[in-house]
Amino acid sequence: MKKWLILINVILLAGILSNPVSAASNFPVHWGFNKGKNEQQAEAGAKYDELLKKYHAFYKGNPNDKVLYLTFDNGYENGYTPKVLDVLKKEKVPAIFFVTGHYLKSKPDLVKRMVAEGHIVGNHSWSHPDLTQVSDEKLREELRKVKDETARITKQKEMLYLRPPRGILSERTMQLANDEGYTHVLWSLAFRDWNVDQQQGWKYSYDNIMAQVHPGAVMLLHTVSKDNADALEKVIKDLKAKGYQFKSLDDYMVKERGKKPNK
């Protein structure tokens, strides 16, 4: 029995050493950070910072610039995205909407409107799986289908930004995404806004955003939230009054990296 166990361990070790997509490289990382407060930046810690730097990913911008990056995750529609788009248009604020296949199929007109009004559509995967649990081929398919369908229904023909479902990633998934031309975009401001059965009024959203906001914040909001839709205009106006500017992720890439990703 002992000989068989030794043999099995040798075989498993040989497989890991010979396979770059090993268990170690696919160890799942669940994104998290210490929230910002008093307009001081959120901090994920050195380990996460090193991982993101290795794969050219980011979750916040320059701590010395009062610039904000507004991002939304759109897995499905709950009736509030039109109001969000109305506010963004009125306030001349750019955003990126990370969409799934379900959203593209169920609300193509809203996706068209996003692009037509100058926003970016990003990749949130086709079926919203844990990408660390799918094969390389399946991961590429998840990304390709979102990109292709977005290109089919809108004038946006390239797709450069990826937000992994549920914020779960690994070195394997980050490398594969890089190979497909994507930059991972995480976030430095978020709160429990996605539960449609636990909406608490516009002030809940407003207070959470204002408590965490900081220079360079990548703000994650969900458009399924009535609280967010109702609070957004006041949030934007009050943050502008505090000296903040809203910029697109393309602006971030030009300013922080000197170019768009993979160009």
Instruction: Check if the beta carbon of residue 80 is closer than 8 Å to that of residue 225.
Output: yes
Question: Is a pLDDT exceeding 70 seen at residue 133?
Answer: yes
Domains annotated for the chain, with CATH where assigned, are: 29-257 (3.20.20.370)
Q: What angle do CA 110, 99, 189 make, to 5 degrees?
A: 110
Tokens of 180: 């497909």
- For 2-44, the pLDDT digits (tens) are 443 333 333 333 333 334 444 568 889 999 999 999 999 999 9
The predicted-structure confidence for 33-43, as pLDDT tens digits, reads as follows 999 999 999 99
| Tokens linked to 34 | 């210490």
Residues 6+ away with beta carbon under 8 Å from 208: 191, 193
- Which residues are marked as active site? 73, 222
- pTM, two decimals, is 0.89
**Entry field: residues in the chain:** 263
